[in-house]
Structure 1
């Protein structure tokens, strides 16, 4: 039976991604939804993009845009090097792309340009890297950057009274538009977790792959979680984004 699987932030951890897909026992009929941040962190950033391009020839894949993907894409297009980007993983992508010719870079620029800021399925679920701020829903957002930079959606869910129900007067309007929302961007390792965390109707699938955590995937129907080993164990001579 075909599955719909959501995968959290990768940050160039290709070896961990390959192990994760083996543990999932991926079938060609499975749909994969990637929540963004494919690059910046480990040395396989560019190789990860190569792998994803090929994976999409086999499986139905949705590639959400992450903030690190946007920054790397800008550099590939214009040479713009944001100092903060370099400090927070961008240097690893810059180093990785030094081994790629212009034809390969053009394929990657096409991949980055075709990403989507968010995706809604037919069962009332939203998939977005970070969040959105407009009370009427993501299609009413004024600025695209919120989709891959916003942290207020997750902060709100973290601060909510867990007993609050959608029919209650003070239930956040943003959350009422969807049965479930799947995000990445803010590692759950910040709250001492290493598996996807559910708050209200939001699932955070960023399990800290850029730091000391694994790459994770979750089956949206069954909520079964799959994980790689901690990504740093595949790259013992590197520091990731630590």
Structure 2
């Protein structure tokens, strides 16, 4: 039986699959949140070539100083792709209408898939419910999942109970260092809050990070220790 990720019909139309054998290396990058300087430094450190692929976990925008610059940077390079985060979704729903939004930005956010996968690896912004199959998930759950029983930072977090079959890369929940479990890798290390911007190097099984400036304050109760 294949363990490649498969969703229900509504989400499967927003699920992009990549052939892992086409790429020399694949990197998955955490929430950028408009932090263009950190993004440029991280991409420079990765020393990409045309046979590499970089997948962002969403939340390219909002909170940081240069959301338009981040959008332009990612869109300009075909090696850079992203899933949709809850902050892109807020703009699409009209919950947020930032003054930096330009013609074409909404269309770009709408084009972002809810999920990206390669082989048995799945990339979503928030996470998955360990008690249900992928086919039973709704879009908002994949974008905002922290706990199957709530949305706060009190836990338990979904990845504490998730045992596969897929390896899920995610952002959304801010951690003081990357989450590394057998079946879950969390990459939001608080870039916009003065933490780090983190990438996972798939071929070499290692994290790459760059420090970032503080663009927004965050309560310590909303930064998780993944130990």
Do both proteins adopt the same fold according to a TM-score greater than 0.5, normalized to the shorter chain? yes
Between stretches 146-155 and 36-45, larger displacement belongs to 146-155
Cα deviation 1:103-161 (Å, max 9, x = unaligned): xx232122101111112212x111111112274532331x2101111102671433x5x
Pick from 120, 126, 133 the counterpart of residue 129 of structure 2.
Answer: 133
Task: Tell me if 1:52 matches 2:99.
Answer: no
Normalising by structure 1, report the TM-score: 0.71
In the alignment, is the contact (CA less than 8 A) between 1:215 and 1:231 conserved in 2? no
- Could you say what secondary structure the match of 1:133 adopts? coil
Between stretches 2-11 and 42-51, larger displacement belongs to 42-51
Pick from 168, 181, 203 the counterpart of residue 168 of structure 2.
Answer: 181
Q: Distance in 1 between matches of 2:47 and 2:197?
A: 15
Structure (1 or 2) with the greater strand fraction:
2
- Unaligned 5+ residue runs, structure 1? 82-92, 98-104, 161-171, 233-238
Q: Distance in 2 between matches of 1:6 and 1:54?
A: 18
Cα deviation 1:30-52 (Å, max 9, x = unaligned): 11111000111111012211111
Detail structure 1 runs of 4+ shifted over 6 Å in the superposition: none
Note the C-alpha offset of 1:227.
1.4
Note the C-alpha offset of 1:230.
1.9
Pick from 92, 104, 107 the counterpart of residue 73 of structure 1.
Answer: 92
Aligned residues: 189
List aligned pairs for 1:198-217, cutoff 5 A: 198-217=180-199
After superposition, the CA RMSD in angstroms is: 2.1
Note the C-alpha offset of 1:241.
4.8
Pick from 105, 110, 128 the counterpart of residue 108 of structure 1.
Answer: 105
Normalising by structure 2, report the TM-score: 0.75
Partner of 1:9: 31
- Unaligned 5+ residue runs, structure 2? 1-22, 149-155, 219-227
Task: Tell me if 1:157 matches 2:162.
Answer: no
